[in-house]
Amino acid sequence: MRNNDTLYIVVPCYNEEAALPETSRVLLGRVAELAEGGRVSAESRVLFVDDGSKDGTWDFIAGLKAVSPYAAGLKLSRNRGHQNALLAGLLAAKEDADMAISVDADLQDDVSVIDGFLDKYYEGFDVVYGVRSDRSSDSAFKRGTARRYYRTLRKMGVEIVPDHADCRLMSKRALQALAEFKEVNLFLRGLVPLVGFPSATVEYPRRERKAGESKYSLKKMLALAWQGVTSMSVRPIRLILSLGVTLLLLGIAALIAFSIVAACGHPEWQWTIILAAIAAACGLNLTATGIVGEYVGKVYLETKARPRYIVEDYFK
């Protein structure tokens, strides 16, 4: 069994001074145990990423080096949001690490999940998704909306692991592949499945936030949800196109039918011809918009310059 690879635990932190004392104690302690047991290398780190916090988060992180040799810190110049902070940490980690695990600063993701991740990693999986088995700590509203949202996303053709947020392990080559995705509108949950490679899931219970408040305001949550649709899928444009074509065809059919009825001795039907004409004109308009949208969608995907494929193996 392989062992002793270098692990980086990446922790995005935004105004987390209340949660960090406990979080850093637990995570640094866990990495120390794993390193001493030879499960991960002594070069392993817990990398705290300060996402432009306005409180004492960075001072706390900077002070950790004196506490533990396993502490590392990365400070962003300003608040760029959870997804960007996480990516910054993962891309920094890929330089020195063989694998990186991302967890939130509030320890809602149970740390026991780390052992499950490592087992799967050493079995040869490149991506291990943490799946929340018990979401009872989230409100019923949050659970209900999340479920409906992910169902909609999948209908839009976005491949998503159910009940998985951003708690996962990625191997070095998966991180290197992720770095090939140059897009700035980030939705990591949708991108990581596109990276491919052998993947597995590990279940864990989702806990209450240890300290401090949720840093995901309703506004940030809605922004992330919208990002998920608009950065991963051009299907909304297709919806407009199919709506337009349907309306156009129905309008034309009604126009013909009503004209025949009116011409066959029912002049009182004449006004319905106008309705049909309006529907057909609207349909034509939407169809035209949808076709233009189709090209805009193509331009959008081209500007993302995503890798067309990622090679897993090659020999000659």
Interface ranges with ligand UDP (CB under 6 A): 12-14, 16, 51, 79, 81-82, 85, 104-106, 108, 214-216
Q: What is the rounded distance in angstroms from the CA atom of residue 3 to the CA atom of residue 40? A: 6
Whichever of 160 and 241 has its CB closer to ligand UDP, that residue is 160
Whichever of 40 and 188 has its CB closer to ligand UDP, that residue is 188
- Per CB under 5 A, contacts with Mg ion among 106-135 are 106, 108
Whichever of 31 and 146 has its CB closer to ligand UDP, that residue is 146
**What is the nearest approach in angstroms of Mg ion to the Cβ of residue 166?**
10
**Residue 136 contact partner, candidates Mg ion, ligand UDP, none, CB within 5 to 8 A by sort of partner:** none
**What is the nearest approach in angstroms of ligand UDP to the Cβ of residue 105?**
3
> Does 15 interact with Mg ion (rule: CB under 5 A)?
no
**What is the nearest approach in angstroms of Mg ion to the Cβ of residue 19?**
9
**What is the nearest approach in angstroms of ligand UDP to the Cβ of residue 186?**
12
> Does 23 interact with Mg ion (rule: CB under 5 A)?
no
| Cβ atoms of 127 and 33 closer than 8 Å | no
Residue whose tokens read 């991960």: 40
| Cβ atoms of 255 and 282 closer than 8 Å | no
**Secondary structure (3-state) at 204:** strand
Of residues 196, 224, 232, 186, the one with CA closest to residue 84: 186
Whichever of 121 and 129 has its CB closer to Mg ion, that residue is 129
**What is the nearest approach in angstroms of Mg ion to the Cβ of residue 225?**
16
Q: What is the rounded distance in angstroms from the CA atom of residue 226 to the CA atom of residue 230? A: 6
**Secondary structure (3-state) at 245:** helix
| Cβ atoms of 75 and 36 closer than 8 Å | no
**Secondary structure (3-state) at 132:** strand
| Contact pattern from residue 61 through residue 100 relative to Mg ion, giving x for each residue in contact according to CB under 5 A and a dash for the rest | ----------------------------------------
- 269, exposed or middle or buried, with CB in 10 Å at 0-12, 13-18, 19+? middle
Q: What is the rounded distance in angstroms from the CA atom of residue 194 to the CA atom of residue 236? A: 20
Could you list the residues that contact Mg ion (CB under 5 A)?
104, 106, 108
